[in-house]
Structure 1
Amino acid sequence: MKGIVHHAVYDTLADWETGHATAHLRNGRYMREPGGYEIVTVGPTTDPIVTMGGLRITPDLALEELSPADSALLILPGADLWDAGAELAPFARKAGEFLDAGVPVAAICGATAGLAREGLLDDRDHTSAVVQYLEAQAGYAGSKHYLDRDAVLGGDLVTAGPTEPVAFAREIFRRLDVYRPEVLDAWFRLFSRSDATAYEVLMAA
């Protein structure tokens, strides 16, 4: 294994947003070097959570146990709870610790709003569902860094809107530098557009 990718889990987690990233990071297929990443789930506590789709997940560790020094990446999925109050704010603060330590963070959908409220998007290129969604968040002052793209890699931060799980994974792979450029392009073409010509490139990898 190349290291540990930490995946935040909490009630109402949007099931569809991170599966492409975690599955391919774990299996290691098409990567420059053999071996994948261990995926470790992190909850508010180690009590089970229930996703938006009704799946029950028991976290591997509690958020208070998580250190950037032990991680290659922190993934923050969307969830209804991001827009329902401050319950998930500790995850956004932990993301700030990761970024301060130079460890990448990947946030999608509502998690981008959580980062916006922490001021973590104010000086980094980023995206979300729409810029107006972020402008509605108290503490956000990053409009000039907002990019209207499917997903954005801004230094150590990956962001995407809720309809872009494949592009989200693409930028995670780009930040971790796990695929050669032509393989990353082929992976995206296959999983986003069902481009059959991309399969040949992946098989050659």
Structure 2
Amino acid sequence: MTRIAIALTPHFADWECALLMAVARSYLQADVVTASPDGDAVVSMGGMRITSDLAYDVLDPAVFDALVIPGGLAWETEEAPDFTAHVQAFHAAGKVVAGICAAASVLAATGILNSVAHTGNSLASHKRQAAYRGEALYRDQPQAVSHAGVVTAPGSAPVTFTIEILKALDLWGAEAEAEIAAFSREHRS
């Protein structure tokens, strides 16, 4: 069974991971586990109180197939957790690592975006990260980008973020496509 860890922070952007969690868990039978800094409950930007399954220090790439980090207000404060060790461990183990919105810049801060195509809210937000050297690989586009097991997206792209993560986990197929199509019909032009 595919296991996905969702790393939540206080004031995380609940809409950025909700579609992935619902489709992966309810329709594709993936095990979706939430983690918070200390394993305690966190409250999202929208006011949802989430009781986490575990603490960040238990996140282990030997146990999970993906580490997904939604954006949120915490990533733009001095209290933001340092996710470098987790991201690098998952990436080194060949696991999917995904960040959306401000969390794409969290990935930039770890240095893993220096060698893969990627996107985010803006190139400027990535360039504020000392370890970031991937400017030539930045894609200024509204959809998620997936390359070599790393998925990034601007905060406005939770649908393509979900699609690219499911593809990277080999969960993309007729059932996933049908569910995403139902949830994303309003985005068709």
TM-score past 0.5 threshold: yes
Q: C-alpha distance in 1, partners of 2:44/2:14?
A: 6
2:36 to 43, 66, 72: 43
1:146 to 115, 133, 138: 138
**Residue of structure 2 in register with 1:107 after alignment:** 99
Instruction: Give, in angstroms, the shift of residue 66 of structure 1.
Output: 1.5
Q: Cα RMSD (Å) of the superposition?
A: 2.0
Instruction: Give, in angstroms, the shift of residue 194 of structure 1.
Output: 3.7
1:155 to 148, 160, 176: 148
* Preserved contact between residue 167 and residue 188 of structure 1 (Cα < 8 Å): no
Listed one character per residue, the Cα deviations across residues 28-55 of structure 1 (whole Å, up to 9, x for unaligned) are: 2xxxxxx511111111112221111111
Question: In the alignment, is residue 165 of structure 1 matched against residue 158 of structure 2?
Answer: yes
> After the TM superposition, which residues 82-101 of structure 1 pair with which residues of structure 2 at under 5 Å, given as runs?
82-85=75-78, 87-89=80-82, 91-101=83-93
AA at the equivalent of 2:131: G
Instruction: Give, in angstroms, the shift of residue 113 of structure 1.
Output: 1.1
2:125 to 118, 124, 133: 133
Which has the greater radius of gyration?
A: 1
Uncovered stretches (5+) of structure 1, i.e. residues with no partner: 29-34, 197-205
What is the count of residue pairs matched by the alignment? Answer: 187
**Residue of structure 1 in register with 2:108 after alignment:** 116
Instruction: Give, in angstroms, the shift of residue 123 of structure 1.
Output: 0.7
* Preserved contact between residue 87 and residue 110 of structure 2 (Cα < 8 Å): no
AA at the equivalent of 2:44: T
TM-score (norm 2): 0.90
Q: C-alpha distance in 2, partners of 1:129/1:179?
A: 25
Q: C-alpha distance in 2, partners of 1:168/1:160?
A: 6
> After the TM superposition, which residues 25-104 of structure 1 pair with which residues of structure 2 at under 5 Å, given as runs?
25-28=24-27, 36-85=29-78, 87-89=80-82, 91-104=83-96
TM-score (norm 1): 0.83
**Residue of structure 1 in register with 2:4 after alignment:** 5
* Preserved contact between residue 88 and residue 114 of structure 1 (Cα < 8 Å): no
Identity %: 35
**Residue of structure 2 in register with 1:31 after alignment:** none
* Preserved contact between residue 5 and residue 40 of structure 1 (Cα < 8 Å): yes
